[in-house]
Amino acid sequence: MNVADELLTGNVLAGGRAIRWLDDGDPRGAQVVSAIFARTGRAHIIGVTGPPGAGKSTLTSALVTEQRRRGRRVGVVAIDPSSPFTGGAILGDRVRMARHSTDPDVFIRSIGTRGQAGGLSRSTHDACLVLDAMGYDVIFVETVGVGQDEIDVAALAHTTIIIGVPGLGDEIQAMKAGLLEVGDVFVINKADREGFDAAYRQFELMLHLRADAAAATDPPWSPPLLRAVAVTGEGIPGVADATDGHAHVLRDTGEFVRRSAKRAVDQTLKLLQAGLTERVIDRADTSILAAVEARSIDPYTAAEHLLRTLQGQQAP
Ligand SMILES: Nc1nc2c(ncn2[C@@H]2O[C@H](COP(=O)(O)OP(=O)(O)OP(=O)(O)O)[C@@H](O)[C@H]2O)c(=O)[nH]1
Ligand SMILES: [Mg+2]
């Protein structure tokens, strides 16, 4: 049996290999996707994001346990920007997730971001496709930080959990810029810590402002603000209720399918863009880029010229 057939039966070695190929840009990865794509689109993808150290891994691990309790098979994609060379898991995350390592219905994968632009969202998207085809019902994607990458990853997820913690000052300001808008479920973790009430009120106020600005969300969903102590499991069933509830609303309104469809088209356009650029740069006389560098030709003219080279080559 080949890798695609193997992973469709849930074989984790095959799944791991496919994800690695895709991550490496190995052409065998694309072949796997073409063989499995028709069997994807079923899994509920949940993004988990928040500032470093907020408890994303701990909370995700607790949510995995809760989803298993609800009878679901669970995949986890952990994004690890800090190790561009190994692409491996952060040791701490391995330890935190270790309790799931003997559960055949939990599959955890770490992917590196390799510092390439757009690499994070592409590798993550690909890993989710593979896990989806392997039959996992729920897939958690843990990102680090509150930057553009996280916003991109939120666009991949059906449901985005944003984690805040007591004592956040500046980070909350940073979150305002975009990330708040993409949150579907908000969790103040470390509720056992001092400053919980203040953090809760701060988020409440921000969500209130957001609700005013985006009154007509589609589908109608008012993001809940929840409290949790991820280390003890307190509040975790409530978070799982919220994500399950959100998935329910998405499915009921047809939005679940629409989001998946949009993602597939977005990915096609991204691949097209990357492929076209590569092909043009491969074939065209790129000394024109040196001319742009020297400012002897402008970027518009140069790009037009490069595109024309491609047309010329496709003509008989
Ligand atoms: N007091 C308290 N500590 C917590 C709670 N949740 C997590 N922690 C601790 O906070 C630390 C960071 O937790 P992680 O789960 O690694 O946080 P993270 O957001 O995944 O961290 P990065 O991936 O490095 O950004 C660990 O020492 C956890 O044990 C909580 O609810 N209360
Ligand atoms: Mg983590």
pLDDT tens digits, residue range 117-152? 455 677 888 999 999 999 999 999 988 665 666 677
Whether 150 contacts 175, CB under 8 Å: no
Question: Closest Cα to residue 157, out of 125, 135, 134, 133?
Answer: 125
Distance separating alpha carbons of residues 29 and 279, to the nearest angstrom: 19
Could you identify the atom of ligand 1 that is nearest to the CA of residue 229? 31
Ligand in nearest proximity to the CA of 236: 1
Ligand in nearest proximity to the CA of 55: 1
Query: Residue 250's pLDDT is what?
Result: 95
Ligand 1 centroid to Cα of residue 54, in Å, is: 5
Q: Which helix (H) or strand (E) holds 89?
A: none
Query: Residue 93's pLDDT is what?
Result: 54
- Residue owning the nearest CA to atom 8 of ligand 1: 55
Query: Residue 88's pLDDT is what?
Result: 38
Ligand 1 centroid to Cα of residue 186, in Å, is: 16
Backbone angles phi, psi at 30, to 5 degrees: -65, -35
For 74-102, how does the pLDDT look when each residue is reduced to its tens digit (9 = 90+)?
Answer: 999 987 655 433 333 444 455 556 667 77
For 162-175, how does the pLDDT look when each residue is reduced to its tens digit (9 = 90+)?
Answer: 999 998 765 665 56
Query: In this model, does residue 27 exceed pLDDT 70?
Result: yes
Whether 250 contacts 259, CB under 8 Å: yes
Query: Residue 169's pLDDT is what?
Result: 65
Ligand 1 centroid to Cα of residue 56, in Å, is: 7
Average pLDDT for 191-213: 84
Ligand 2 centroid to Cα of residue 78, in Å, is: 8
Say whether pTM exceeds 0.85: yes
Indicate if ligand 1 lies below 6 Å from the C-beta of 73: no
Provide the 3-class DSSP secondary structure of residue 96.
helix
Indicate if ligand 1 lies below 6 Å from the C-beta of 92: yes
Average pLDDT for 181-200: 91
Query: Residue 282's pLDDT is what?
Result: 86
Whether 32 contacts 63, CB under 8 Å: no
Indicate if ligand 1 lies below 6 Å from the C-beta of 57: yes
Ligand 2 centroid to Cα of residue 17, in Å, is: 23
Q: In which region does residue 55 sit, left (phi positive, over 0), alpha (psi from -120 to 50) or beta (all else)?
A: left
